[in-house]
């Protein structure tokens, strides 16, 4: 990989997501060489992927070059590489561009879509975990309308204009709200020769409420907001298959649709060599101790979505969200300093700052540890927090201007089919860029 050997310890970080970047920043002042490997040369702000899929934002406003984030840090090296295997006995990482030796290794590989083994959904459904996937979805949605214009069959038109979203967590809810707003404000103007009142947005949830991880009051309000926007919510329904035309469920209920969007779960993005059965906890995450050390290894750590740290409050690991990833990354940075100075490491403790979701224009729900609120104020809080956590001044400005423009004009201008979507059938999109 052409990385110079130095006398300082080499820390290899796999993944430039929230956890990997927070850790690398903390290591910047330490006497170490940091090598970051990622299959993308950019950091993705995943919470706003749905806005790319629905044409509210261009993809480059939610992505940021990893090299630029860390360019002024000494001893930092980035390599664009897909990690294929870790060989702990030899302390090397094997990638598609060669191997690299590590003194310490940090897994910060995040998660990938969990289809729970359902091959038909994996092959025919759409996921939204990466920017390429979000662009695929944006293209497919727009291509469906173009195709609907060309057919006289009402059944075919209905299937093309029926969007089925499976999983009513924050991603599913936010996407359903955004599609409902497009139906309300944009479609009839773009497609005056289509009866876009027949567009349907179906949100399917296996349990008895949407936003299950949030408070009951947030769930109730979110359902109300969605229903007012015309979203059909189906609770206690388990989707069992999708052949590209029909969605089947555990009851007689079926849906004819050209678009199934799968937002029903994620699982740890494990790496070969560190995926032995006894290392893996629920959700395909890697078991770590209170210092984020992978079980059984002194020199290998895991942070963020991939790490399962079992605590009394979180027996199956912390929530797979940005805050635990950021906090674990920072904390491990502090622990590395202690470790390298022969001081005992400090256990990680998670500070829960709350959670939120937006349902559309002027509508959001926010659960803070001691205060819950919904509506317009929650929506402003949601926007402020997302702008704050976006990386890069330019991105913040672009997103802010886009949101202000969309708000005033009731518009979403990125309705572009830049790269037409073609279903590759066997798309393991989070390991090969689709
Ligand atoms: C659509 C969506 C919406 C979300 N909304 C929210 C939200 O509103 N609030 C919230 O708190 N959280 C949200 N999340 C979850 C949040 O984004 C994740 O919890 C967070 O990104 C985890 O950070 P991480 O650093 O562990 O992993 P990631 O941010 O996923 O980063 C992992 C990195 O590792 C790289 N990588 C993985 N495997 C390899 C490999 N083998 N070789 C090379 N590189 C590799 C990836 O390319 C990626 O850059 C959302 C997630 C999604 C998908």
CATH number of the domain that residue 89 is part of: 3.50.50.60
Report which of 262, 167, 160 is spatially closest to residue 207, judged by C-alpha positions. Answer: 167
111 CA to centre of ligand 1 in angstroms:
6
Q: Return the ligand 1 atom nearest residue 324 CA.
A: 19
Contacts of 8 (CB under 8 A, 6+ apart): 31, 32, 33, 75
In a domain, 425, yes or no: no
Same domain flag for 251 and 391: yes
pLDDT at 71: 87
Q: Which residue has its alpha carbon closest to ligand 1 atom 3?
A: 47
Expressed in angstroms and rounded, the spacing between residue 355 Cα and the centre of ligand 1 is 16
Whether 153 is covered by a domain: the verdict is yes
Q: Do residues 124 and 252 both lie within one domain?
A: yes
pLDDT of res. 415: 87
Q: Whose CA is nearest to atom 19 of ligand 1?
A: 321
Q: In ligand 1, which atom is closest to the CA atom of 49? A: 1
User: Does residue 191 contact residue 150 with C-beta atoms inside 8 Å?
Assistant: no
Same domain (yes/no): 260, 274: no
pLDDT attached to residue 409: 82
Is the same domain home to 146 and 25? no
With tokens 């317009």, the residue in question is 376
Q: Which atom of ligand 1 is nearest to the CA of 15?
A: 34
Is residue 14 located within the same domain as residue 133?
A: no
- Check: CB of residue 46 under 8 Å from CB of residue 131: no
Q: What is the pLDDT of residue 427?
A: 53
Question: Has residue 417 been placed in a domain?
Answer: no
Ligand 1, closest atom to CA 356? 8
| 203 lies in some domain | yes
Is position 3 within any domain?
no
The one catalytic residue in 58, 174, 223, 430 is 174
Instruction: Give the total number of structural domains in the chain.
Output: 2
CA of 38 to the centre of ligand 1 (A): 12
Q: Compute the half-sphere exposure of residue 266: CA atoms within 13 Å on the CB side of its CA.
A: 23
Q: Which of 84, 104, 18 is nearest to 305 (CA)?
A: 18
Domain shared by 322 and 181, yes or no: no
**Digits of tens for pLDDT over the chain (434 positions)?**
899 999 999 999 999 999 999 999 999 989 999 999 999 999 999 999 999 999 999 999 999 999 999 888 889 999 999 999 999 999 999 999 999 999 999 999 999 999 999 999 999 999 999 999 999 999 999 999 999 999 999 999 999 999 999 999 999 999 999 999 999 999 999 999 999 999 999 999 999 999 999 999 999 999 999 999 999 999 999 999 999 999 999 999 999 999 999 999 999 999 999 999 999 999 999 999 999 999 999 999 999 999 999 999 999 999 999 999 999 999 999 999 999 999 999 999 999 999 999 998 899 999 999 999 999 999 999 999 999 999 888 889 999 998 888 888 888 878 899 989 976 554 555 544 43
- Distance between CA atoms of residues 130 and 49, nearest Å: 7
Residue 53 belongs to a domain: no
Among 239, 164, 171, residue whose Cα is nearest residue 202: 164
Contact yes or no for 335/281 (Cβ under 8 A): no
Question: Does residue 174 carry a catalytic annotation?
Answer: yes
CA distance 164 to 375: 25
161 CB-near residues (< 8 Å, 6+ apart): 144, 145, 148, 194, 196, 198, 199, 200
Whole-model pTM: value is 0.94
Q: Do residues 151 and 225 both lie within one domain?
A: yes
Enclosing domain of residue 249:
119-264+361-409
Same domain, 86 and 226: no
Domain assignment of residue 381, yes or no = yes
Which residue among 14, 24, 109 is best mutated to probe the pocket of ligand 1, counting the most ligand atoms within 8 A of its Cβ?
109
Could you tell me if 256 and 132 lie in one domain?
A: yes
Q: Which of 321, 330, 385, 434 to mutate to test the pocket of ligand 1 (most atoms within 8 A of CB)?
A: 321
Whole-angstrom CA distances from 432 to 35, 82, 139 are: 22, 9, 19
Residue 412's nearest CA partner among 173, 58, 176 is 58
């Amino acid at each position: 990989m052409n990385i110079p050997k130095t006398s300082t310890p080499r820390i290899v970080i796999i993944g430039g997501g929230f956890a990997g970047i927070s850790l690398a920043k903390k290591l910047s002042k330490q006497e170490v060489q940091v090598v970051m490997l990622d299959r993308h040369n950019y950091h993705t702000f995943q919470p706003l992927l749905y806005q790319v899929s629905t044409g509210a934002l261009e993809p480059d406003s939610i992505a940021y070059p990893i090299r630029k984030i860390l360019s002024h840090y000494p001893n930092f090296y980035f390599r664009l590489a897909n990690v294929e295997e870790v060989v702990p006995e030899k302390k090397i990482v094997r990638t598609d561009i060669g191997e690299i030796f590590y003194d310490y290794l940090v897994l910060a590989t995040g998660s990938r879509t969990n289809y729970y083994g359902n091959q038909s959904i994996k092959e025919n459904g759409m996921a939204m975990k990466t920017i390429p996937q979000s662009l695929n979805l944006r293209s497919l949605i727009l291509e469906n309308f173009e195709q609907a214009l060309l057919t006289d069959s009402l059944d075919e038109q209905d299937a093309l204009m029926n969007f089925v979203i499976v999983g009513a967590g924050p991603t599913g809810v936010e996407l359903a709200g955004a599609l409902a707003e497009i139906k309300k404000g944009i479609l009839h103007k773009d497609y005056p020769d289509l009866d876009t009142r027949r567009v349907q947005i179906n949100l399917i949830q296996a349990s008895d409420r949407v936003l299950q991880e949030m408070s009951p009051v947030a769930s109730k309000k979110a359902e109300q907001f969605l229903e007012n926007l015309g979203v059909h919510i189906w609770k206690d329904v388990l989707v069992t298959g999708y052949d590209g035309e029909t969605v089947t469920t555990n009851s007689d209920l079926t849906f004819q649709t050209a678009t199934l969007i799968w937002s029903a779960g994620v699982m740890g993005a494990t790496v070969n060599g560190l995926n032995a059965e006894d290392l893996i906890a629920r959700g395909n995450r890697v078991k770590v101790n209170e210092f984020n050390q992978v079980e059984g290894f002194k020199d290998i750590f895991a942070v963020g979505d991939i790490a399962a740290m079992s605590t009394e409050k979180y027996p199956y690991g912390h929530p797979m969200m940005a805050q635990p990833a950021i906090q674990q990354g920072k904390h491990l940075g502090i622990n590395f300093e202690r470790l390298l100075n022969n001081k005992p490491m400090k256990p990680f403790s998670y500070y829960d700052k709350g959670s939120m979701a937006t349902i559309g224009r002027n509508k959001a729900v926010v659960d803070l540890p001691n205060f819950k609120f919904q509506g317009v104020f929650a929506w402003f809080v949601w926007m402020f927090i997302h702008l704050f956590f976006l990386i890069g001044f330019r991105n913040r400005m672009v997103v802010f201007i886009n949101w202000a423009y969309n708000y005033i004009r009731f518009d979403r201008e990125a309705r572009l089919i830049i790269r037409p979507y073609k279903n590759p059938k066997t798309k393991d999109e989070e390991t090969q860029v689709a």
